[in-house]
Amino acid sequence: MRSGVLRYAAGGSRGRSGGGKVSVAMKRFSSARLAAVSLLGGAALAAVPALAAVPAAADQASTAAKAHQLTRQAGEHAAGAYVDRSSGQLVVNVTTAEAAQRVRDAGAEARVVDDSMRRLQNIKASLDRGDGAAGLSWGTDVVTNSVVVSVPSGQDNAATREFLRTARSHGDAVRIERVAGTVRPMALQPGDAIQSGSATCSAAVVGVSGSTEYVVTAGHCTEAGNSWTTSSGQTIGNTADSSFPGNDYGTIEVSDPGALGATNGSISSVGQPPAGSEVCKRGSTTGETCGTIVGYDRTVNYAEGTVTGLIETDVCVQPGDSGGALYQGSTGVGIVSGGTTGGCGSGFQSFFQPVNEALDANGLSLK
């Protein structure tokens, strides 16, 4: 059983861990106490700090490229790829023996599974169209070749029972697990981060469109404030765009780029490493923490609304971290959205908005 309740990581938030309910708990730091998980606040807006050493970052980038290449070549027989945690080897799932042999001929480990990624994605999409109960999360899992539905332990209301009946109708392609906490956005809390009034969050990356610069953060952060400053009081600018729920990204237009001097530190590109890859995140509350990508395309049903297409990891996030950066080496991967309550112990889940989607949706490139 996993532990924790999913929630936003900001002083607002979103793994596979303990079950609980999904709720958005964005609080101001004038409140008596903030929720356990809150928006990840950026330690310093002027620069995204240099990334900590991630073992063999160049090798991991090569592995990611190989995974994408082999899954494309497998076509309709592809069922995803991941890095085996025990061996460190790339494993490519396929549905036929012939496709498996082609993977082996290319120098990777192959595994023959029952369901193609297309079928799993179709099942996941059908669940997305339903009315999921607050507190649930679900997504495709390449390691188990299934769609995994995470349900808070003890949650048994009518909406949950109806959703699980629908999920079970897909047979063995769906796996239901009980988790110990509830998912909810990370609540706002004080910290060394980007601030709007009493709301505190973290910066993910700096994007540009022409000569205009934007700080990219979580959407549930920009929904909570308009005029933003650094933790030292230096002006950043005003909210330009928010997408939440549905997505969880937002942008802040930098009013004076020369004065602010914002940079992306060591982040020079964006991408999506395969499941099982090691990644790190940086936020204003917990600083730099590292862990593993559990999977992509997760749907999280926060109390404030459903967010789809998230990345699930076991990386620790806490209140005030919302909006912070998830990365691997010099590659930007995600934006902190939320995580489970109950601390960052065994079974902790955290969720991230893919940063490439946030940039593309706003017509931005990395500065």
Within 10 angstroms of residue 52's Cβ, the number of other Cβ atoms is: 14
The active-site residue out of 115, 248, 297, 314 is 248
Q: Is 128 a catalytic residue?
A: no
Alpha carbon 218 to chain centroid, angstroms: 11
182, β-bridge pairs = 5
SS3 at position 310: strand
Q: Is 68 a catalytic residue?
A: no
CA distance 279 to 352: 12
- CB–CB of 112/96 below 8 Å? yes
Q: Which of 265, 247, 271, 241 is nearest to 356 (CA)?
A: 271
Q: Is 360 a catalytic residue?
A: no
The active-site residue out of 13, 23, 196, 322 is 322
CA distance 183 to 302: 7
Burial (Cβ within 10 Å: 0-12, 13-18, ≥19) of residue 82: buried
Q: What would the DSSP string read from start to end of 8-27? A: E-BSB-----B---------
Q: Which of 71, 174, 66 is nearest to 115 (CA)?
A: 174
The active-site residue out of 13, 141, 202, 220 is 220
Calculate Rg over the CA atoms of the chain: 20
Q: What is the DSSP letter of 71?
A: H
List, by residue number, the catalytic residues.
220, 248, 322
